[in-house]
C-alpha cells in the first residue's frame, strides 16, 4: 500500500508540473481506438470552486488544442495485449495530436477500461483528539480504513473518500473544521490487475512520456456523460466500448461502484463476420451503416449486397436482408446488456434513490439501442454524449469520446483521493526524520 | 479474407503502417521542443553565415579585394556632382582678410564634400590673428560658405618694432601699416600694455574730457599707467584704482585749471599725497615769489 501511495503521489506531482507547464495529454486506450487529446491550461485561477459555485467539472480552465485518434492495435478487452503494437498505436495518436497542437507533450494521463476492475467499499473510524477535524484527522481516518484482502497481483487504481460521518451526522463532503468526537469515512477502492499497470507503464515509457495519472475508463466516462443532477441523485453510466463495456455508478457526485463486462462492439462485429462469412472490415462497415437492434417489416425488404473478392461467384454475390443483420446483432447486444444488468444487480443498483442509466461509448450509437436497453435495464435509460469542452473538434464530440473528454475533466480537476492527503505520522517508518517533522507539525 | 484471384499487373503494396517509427517520433518531439526549434531556425543559420563569412575572409586576398571594392564604391559616390564643392564664399571679412583666409585654407576646388573636414578648416581659419570666430557651412549647389567675424581694432600699440593694432581683448589684429583705418584710434605704449587693454579702454573713456590734449597711455613696469598729454606732460596714475585718481586730476583741472598751469608731471602714485612737478621756469618763479615774501619778511 505504501509503495502505491508513493507512486500515486509522484503521479500527482507530475500532474502539477504539467499544469505549471500548461500542456498535458490525455490518452484513452480503448480496444477499438486510441484517442489522444492535448490540453492547454490557462494559468488563471478564476474557475476554482468557491462559495456556491462548483468546480464546473473543471471544463472551463483548459482548451483542447490537439486531437488525434487511431485504430487501436494490440489491445483486447480494454487491456494491453501486445505491447509493441500498442506502443506504436500510442505513438501514432500522440504524434498526430502533438502535430495539431504544435507543442511537445511530456506528461500524459491514461485511462483504460479493462484489467478486471473490482470495487470495494471501505469504512474507517477514528476518535478525534482535539475535538475539531483537521487535515491530519482526515488523513488518519483514511489510513484507518480496513483494507480488504484483494489478492495477489492487484493494484489500487482509485481510492476515493465518498462520505464522511462525524458522530451521528453523515453525508459530509468536507468535515474539516467541524466539531465532534468520532470521525468515520466510507471509501471506494477500485483495484485492477497489476500487470495492466505495468504494461501501461512500459508502453508510456517507451514513448518517452511520463505518466501523470491513471484513471479507470468507466469512471471518467461517467464524469463526462452524466449531468450534474444524475451524478448527485444516483445514476449508472454504461460505456459501451469496442472490447469491453464499463459501468460505473455515481451518487452524490462520487463513484461508488465500477465494473467491466468483457464484451463490446467488436464482439458484435465478430458475430457478423462469422455469421455472414465476410471480412471483419466489411462486417464493421455493415454494422455501422445498416446495424440496428429492432427489425421492422421494412427491414425484410432492404437487401444488403455482400461483396466479396474470394473468386467464388456465388459467394461473392450474396445479399442479406437488413433484418437478418439485425438478427445477428441483437442477441449479442442483449447478452451484453443482460450481463450489465447482472452486474448492476450485484452492486445493488436497485436500492439507489434514482435509477437513471446513461448509455455512452462508441457501441451505444447502434440505432434503437435505447429501446432495447430500457427493456433490459429499466425504463430510465437515455443515450449520453460527453460534455462539450472548449476546442474539441466536431469529429471528437460523439459518445465514442466520452472517456477522452472525461479524462480531460479528470486531468483538470481530479477528485480527492486517498493519496492527496498527507500520510499520518504513525504510518511513516520508525526513526524517520519526516515522521518527527510531521508529528511536530501536527501537534503544534 | 485474402482474395484468391490472381491479379495482373503490379501487386499492390500492403497498406502502410500509419505508426511513425521510433526515430521519426523522437525527431518530431525534438522538433517541437521550443529551445531546439529556436536553435535550428535562428542559431544554426546564424552560425552557418558567420562560419562562411569567416572562412571567406580567412584568406587575406579576399579581404583586400572586398576592402578595395568598398573603397572604390565609396570614391564613386563621393565624386558624384551632388557632393562636389565648387565655390568658396567668404563673408563678413574685409577684402584683405578674405584674401588672407583664402590663402590660408588653400583649397584646391572643386573638391568632394566628404574630403572637407569642416572642423579642422574652421580651426585653421580661427588661427588667423584677425579672425575672432569663423563658421564654415556647405550649402546646396556646391558652395562652401565661410562666415568670418573679424576682430575690431580699438587701440594702436606702439611697440619697439612697429605700431600694431589690438582689439578689445588685447589680441593682436594686424600691424598698423597693413590696415587702412576708418578713423583715428587711441594709442598705448609700454611693455605689457596688451595685457591690460580693458583697463586702458576704461581710462581712455575716463580721460575723454582731456579731448585732443591726450596723446596716449604708457604702461609703466607692466603695472600702472601714465597718461601722456600732447605736450609731453604726464599724469602718473597708481596701479590700484587708476580711474579714481584720473578723475581727481580732472576734477582739479576743472576746478583750478591744473593742467593749464606750468606743470610737467602730476604724480598720483600715492593717492593720499598727490605731487606736482613744476617746470624749471615755474619753479624759479615760485622761488622768486617765495623769495619776495622772504625778502619782505627779512626786510
CATH of the domain at B213: 3.40.50.11690
B20 touches chain A (CB under 8 A): yes
The residue among A240, A365, A362 whose CA lies nearest residue A291 is A365
Chain B residues with CB inside 8 Å of A88's CB?
A: 17, 19
Instruction: Sort out which chain B residues have CB atoms less than 8 A from A102's CB and list them.
Output: 32
Is there a cis peptide before residue B110, judged by omega within 30 degrees of 0? yes
* B18 in contact with A, Cβ within 8 Å: yes
Q: 368-427 in A: which are within 8 Å (CB) of B? A: none
Q: A283-287 long-range CB contacts below 8 Å, 24 or more apart?
A: A286/A325, A287/A325, A287/A329, A287/A366
- In a domain, residue B94? The reply is yes
H or E element that contains A26: strand A23-29
Q: Which residues pair with A238 in a beta bridge?
A: A247, A359
Considering only CB atoms, which chain A residues are within 8 Å of B1?
A: 278-279, 308-310
- From A98, A104, A310, residue closest to B1, measured CB to CB: A310
Probe site for chain B from A40, A92, A95, A306 (most B CB atoms < 10 A): A95
Instruction: Name which of A200, A192, A203, A208 is nearest A158 in CA terms.
Output: A192
Mutate to test the interface with A, among B14, B30, B32, B33 (most CBs of A within 10 A): B32
The answer to whether the CB of B162 falls within 8 A of the CB of B175 is: yes
Judge residue B258's burial from the number of C-beta atoms within 10 Å of its C-beta, 0-12 exposed, 13-18 middle, 19 or more buried. Answer: middle
Q: Does B38 contact chain A (CB < 8 Å)?
A: no
DSSP annotation of A131: S
**Half-sphere CA count of B278, side-chain side, radius 13 A:** 10
Across the interface, whether the CB atoms of B19 and A310 are under 8 A apart is answered: no
d(CA A141, CA A128): 10
* Cell numbers found for residue B67: 576592402
Q: Is residue B28 less than 8 Å (CB to CB) from chain A?
A: yes
* pLDDT at res. A322: 92
Task: Flag whether the pTM goes above 0.90.
Answer: no
Domain that holds residue B118: 81-150
Gap between the Cα atoms of A94 and A1, Å rounded: 32
Q: Does A301 touch chain B (CB under 8 A)?
A: no
Instruction: Answer yes or no: do B19 and A208 touch at CB < 8 A.
Output: no
Those of residues 254-273 in A touching chain B at CB distance below 8 A are none
| B200 lies in the same domain as B287 | yes
A69 inside 8 A of chain B by CB = no
> Are A91 and A167 a contacting pair, CB within 8 Å?
no
Name the domain count of chain B: 2
Q: CB–CB of A400/A365 below 8 Å?
A: yes
CATH number at residue B86: 3.10.20.310
Name the region of A82 (left: φ>0; alpha: ψ -120 to 50; beta: rest).
beta
Query: Is there a single domain that holds both residue B222 and residue B271?
Result: yes
Q: Read off the DSSP letter of residue B164.
A: E
Q: Which of A194, A162, A235, A212 is nearest to A408 (CA)?
A: A212
Would an 8 Å CB–CB cutoff place A86 in contact with chain B?
Answer: no
Mean pLDDT for all residues in chain A: 86
Instruction: Give DSSP secondary structure letters for A161-178.
Output: EEEEEETTEEEES--TT-
Judged by DSSP in three states, A374 sits in helix
* Domain end (from B123, B150, B177): B150
Whether residue B146 is found in the same domain as residue B201: no
* Predicted pLDDT of residue B197: 82
- Mean pLDDT highest for which of A330-344, A403-417, B68-82? A330-344
Pairwise CB contact (< 8 Å): B29 & A104: yes
Point out which residues pair with A126 in neighbouring strands: A183
Minimal CA–CA distance to B141: which of B88, B217, B75? B88
ipTM over 0.85: no
Amino acid B246: pLDDT? 84
Quickly count: other Cβ atoms within 10 Å of residue B72's Cβ: 10
The Cα–Cα gap between B204 and B198 comes to 10
The contacts of residue A122 (CB under 8 Å, 6+ apart) are: A145, A146, A147, A148, A186, A187, A188, A189
Q: How far is CA A32 from CA A68, A87, A200, A279, in A?
A: 14, 15, 17, 16
The three-state secondary structure class of A132 is strand
Whether residue B275 lies inside any domain: the answer is yes
For A312, nearest residue in chain B (alpha carbons)? B4
B92 dihedral zone (left: phi>0; alpha: psi -120 to 50; beta): left
Q: Which of B19, B22, B34 sits opposite A89 (nearest CB)?
A: B19
Locate B269 and state its grid cell. 602714485
**Chain B neighbors of A95, CB-CB under 8 A:** 20, 25, 28
Per-residue confidence in pLDDT tens, chain B, 299 aa: 566 676 677 777 776 777 888 899 999 899 888 899 899 999 999 999 999 999 999 988 999 999 999 999 988 888 888 788 888 888 877 777 788 888 887 777 777 777 778 888 888 888 887 787 888 888 887 788 888 888 878 888 888 778 888 887 777 777 777 777 777 788 888 887 778 888 888 888 888 887 778 888 888 888 888 888 888 888 888 888 888 888 888 888 888 887 778 888 888 888 888 888 888 888 888 888 888 766 554 44
> What is the model's pLDDT at position B163?
83
Strands B187-189 and B214-220: parallel
Residue B155 included in any domain = no
Amino acid at each position: 500500500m505504501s509503495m502505491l501511495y508513493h507512486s500515486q503521489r509522484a503521479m500527482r506531482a507530475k500532474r502539477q508540473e504539467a499544469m505549471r507547464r500548461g500542456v498535458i495529454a490525455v490518452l484513452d486506450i480503448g480496444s477499438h481506438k486510441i484517442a489522444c487529446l492535448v490540453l492547454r491550461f490557462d494559468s488563471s485561477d478564476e474557475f476554482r470552486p468557491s462559495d456556491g459555485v462548483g468546480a464546473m467539472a473543471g471544463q472551463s480552465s483548459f482548451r483542447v488544442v490537439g486531437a488525434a485518434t487511431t485504430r487501436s492495435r494490440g489491445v483486447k478487452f480494454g487491456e494491453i495485449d501486445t505491447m509493441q503494437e500498442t506502443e506504436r498505436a500510442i505513438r501514432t495518436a500522440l504524434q498526430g495530436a502533438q502535430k495539431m497542437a504544435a507543442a511537445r507533450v511530456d506528461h500524459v494521463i491514461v485511462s483504460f477500461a479493462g484489467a478486471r476492475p473490482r470495487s470495494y467499499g471501505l469504512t474507517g473510524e477514528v476518535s478525534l483528539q482535539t475535538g475539531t477535524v483537521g487535515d491530519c484527522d482526515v488523513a488518519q481516518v483514511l489510513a484507518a480504513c480496513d483494507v480488504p484482502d484483494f489478492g495477489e497481483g492487484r493494484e489500487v487504481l482509485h481510492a476515493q473518500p465518498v462520505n464522511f460521518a462525524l458522530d451521528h451526522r453523515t453525508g459530509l463532503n468536507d468535515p474539516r473544521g467541524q466539531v465532534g468526537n468520532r470521525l468515520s469515512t466510507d471509501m471506494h477502492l477500485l483495484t485492477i490487475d497489476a500487470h495492466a499497470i505495468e504494461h501501461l507503464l512500459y508502453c508510456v515509457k517507451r514513448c518517452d512520456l511520463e505518466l501523470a495519472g491513471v484513471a479507470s475508463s468507466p469512471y471518467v466516462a461517467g464524469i463526462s456523460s452524466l449531468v450534474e443532477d444524475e451524478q448527485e441523485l444516483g445514476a449508472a453510466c454504461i460505456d459501451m466500448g469496442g472490447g469491453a463495456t464499463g459501468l460505473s455508478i455515481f451518487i452524490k457526485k462520487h463513484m461508488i461502484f465500477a465494473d467491466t463486462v468483457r464484451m463490446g462492439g467488436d464482439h458484435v462485429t465478430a458475430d457478423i463476420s462469422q455469421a455472414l462469412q465476410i471480412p471483419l472490415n466489411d462486417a464493421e462497415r455493415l454494422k455501422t451503416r445498416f446495424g440496428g437492434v429492432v427489425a421492422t417489416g421494412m427491414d425484410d425488404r432492404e437487401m444488403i449486397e455482400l461483396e466479396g473478392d474470394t473468386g467464388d461467384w456465388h459467394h461473392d454475390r450474396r445479399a442479406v436482408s437488413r433484418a437478418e443483420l439485425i438478427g445477428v446483432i441483437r442477441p449479442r447486444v442483449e447478452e451484453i446488456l443482460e450481463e450489465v444488468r447482472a452486474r448492476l444487480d450485484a452492486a445493488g443498483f436497485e436500492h439507489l434513490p434514482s435509477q437513471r442509466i446513461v448509455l455512452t461509448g462508441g457501441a451505444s450509437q447502434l440505432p434503437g439501442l435505447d429501446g432495447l436497453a430500457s427493456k433490459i435495464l429499466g425504463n430510465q435509460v437515455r443515450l449520453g454524449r460527453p460534455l462539450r469542452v472548449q476546442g474539441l473538434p466536431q469529429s471528437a464530440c460523439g459518445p465514442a469520446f466520452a472517456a477522452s473528454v472525461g479524462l480531460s475533466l479528470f486531468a483538470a480537476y481530479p477528485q480527492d483521493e486517498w493519496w492527496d492527503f498527507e500520510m499520518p505520522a504513525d504510518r511513516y517508518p520508525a526513526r524517520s526524520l519526516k515522521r518527527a517533522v510531521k508529528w511536530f507539525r501536527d501537534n503544534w | 479474407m485474402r482474395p484468391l484471384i490472381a491479379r495482373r499487373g503490379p501487386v499492390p503494396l500492403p497498406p502502410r503502417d500509419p505508426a511513425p517509427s521510433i526515430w521519426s517520433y523522437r525527431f518530431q518531439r525534438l522538433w517541437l521542443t521550443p529551445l531546439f526549434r529556436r536553435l535550428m531556425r535562428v542559431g544554426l543559420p546564424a552560425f552557418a553565415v558567420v562560419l562562411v563569412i569567416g572562412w571567406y575572409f580567412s584568406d587575406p586576398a579576399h579581404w583586400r579585394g572586398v576592402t578595395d571594392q568598398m573603397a572604390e564604391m565609396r570614391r564613386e559616390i563621393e565624386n558624384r556632382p551632388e557632393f562636389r564643392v565648387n565655390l568658396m564664399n567668404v563673408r563678413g571679412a574685409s577684402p584683405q582678410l578674405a584674401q588672407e583666409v583664402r590663402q590660408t585654407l588653400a583649397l584646391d576646388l572643386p573638391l568632394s564634400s566628404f574630403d572637407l573636414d569642416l572642423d579642422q578648416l574652421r580651426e585653421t581659419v580661427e588661427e588667423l590673428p584677425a579672425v575672432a570666430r569663423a563658421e564654415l557651412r556647405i550649402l546646396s549647389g556646391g558652395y562652401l560658405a565661410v562666415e568670418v567675424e573679424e576682430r575690431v581694432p580699438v587701440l594702436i600699440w606702439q611697440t619697439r618694432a612697429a605700431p600694431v593694432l589690438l582689439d578689445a581683448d588685447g589680441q593682436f589684429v594686424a600691424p598698423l601699416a597693413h590696415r587702412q583705418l576708418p578713423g583715428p584710434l587711441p594709442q598705448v605704449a609700454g611693455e605689457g600694455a596688451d595685457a591690460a587693454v580693458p583697463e586702458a579702454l576704461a581710462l581712455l573713456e575716463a580721460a575723454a574730457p582731456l579731448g585732443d590734449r591726450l596723446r596716449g597711455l604708457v604702461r609703466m613696469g607692466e603695472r600702472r599707467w601714465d597718461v601722456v598729454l600732447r605736450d609731453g606732460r604726464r599724469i602718473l596714475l597708481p596701479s590700484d584704482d587708476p580711474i579714481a585718481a584720473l578723475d581727481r586730476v580732472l576734477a582739479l583741472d576743472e576746478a583750478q585749471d591744473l593742467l593749464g598751469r606750468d606743470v610737467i608731471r602730476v604724480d598720483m602714485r600715492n593717492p593720499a599725497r598727490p605731487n606736482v612737478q613744476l617746470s624749471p621756469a615755474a619753479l624759479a618763479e615760485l622761488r622768486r615769489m617765495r623769495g619776495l615774501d622772504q625778502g619782505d619778511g627779512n626786510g
